[in-house]
Structure 1
């Protein structure tokens, strides 16, 4: 029986019983996978080492944390009034209540007077959102983080053009 090359051609006794490697086989199964692995390796290397360098410094070479502290002054904290709302009870269960006290972190003293002028809008946005929550929405740190982010989003929408930096929980009681 005669040998078959990788190309599919039949070979005779002059081949010495060995298969020939064609150019297509060499490129497709050896060179191409080596190139793909090299590109993936280079991409991983550049991702790991370039992202750690750019995150720790800024354009002028100073660490990012120091730049942030020097650009902003001392923050100003503004206490919102206490919120007491009834929560949505699942399946007609007993009524549960939420008592919430928060402070807003503002960039400067000028923002306090601007927040006071839009305070009814801020309180209304918080009340509407808080009344739709369920007691399970306050379980776990991830849910509290989501609550903080939503309150921050709502206060920034209501207080525009003032930018509120953070919402800080002073008291959260669900009973």
Structure 2
């Protein structure tokens, strides 16, 4: 019986050791459950309620100012061709788009420079350079780059074609 008593005592200690991990396991499960509930609540707030605040701020913002436009005088230039071919001409009516009306007044004194830069560039084009929408897009991008260099502190948003004719 003496052998049974220490075994019972050892079994009692073993029971306490086993009981400690069960209580830790319960604690871990409760913490994980709490984190899941808090995480679910946070996810719900981000998905459903957070956007309403941004919409209220977006509605309160003033509407953007409409852009201003600067007319460029009509240009008629001859295109570069191979010797023996008939001469082809390019007629262009352009408008410059700027962000504010006060920029229009700043660009007008520089209009002779802008016209000169445009005509110099346009006279170097070949009829093949203007084929298709890709050719016109490249032309528009190049003219925008050149006008921005001519009116340096002022930024032109875009060069818009009002009319473009190749004859």
TM-score range, shorter chain: 0.5 to 0.7
Report how far residue 71 of structure 1 moved.
8.0
2:108 corresponding residue in structure 1: 116
Equivalent residues in 2 for 1:82-161, closer than 5 Å:
82-161=74-153
The gaps in structure 1 that reach 5 residues or longer are 1-60
Q: Say if 2:125 is the partner of 1:164.
A: no
Runs ≥4 residues deviating over 3 A: 69-72
Aligned residues: 111
Gapped regions of structure 2 (runs ≥ 5): 1-53
Cα distance, 1:79 vs structure 2: 1.1
Give the TM-score normalised by structure 1.
0.59
Higher relative contact order (CA 8 A, sep 6+): 2
Q: Deviations over 1:54-111 (max 9, x none)?
A: xxxxxxx78xxx8xx9685210111100000000012341111000001111111111
1:90–1:134 CA contact under 8 A, matched in 2: no
Contact kept in structure 2, 1:84 and 1:99, CA below 8 Å: yes
**Paired residue secondary structure (2:156):** coil
The secondary structure found in structure 2 opposite 1:85 is strand
**TM-score (normalised: structure 2):** 0.62
- SS of the aligned residue for 1:78 comes to strand
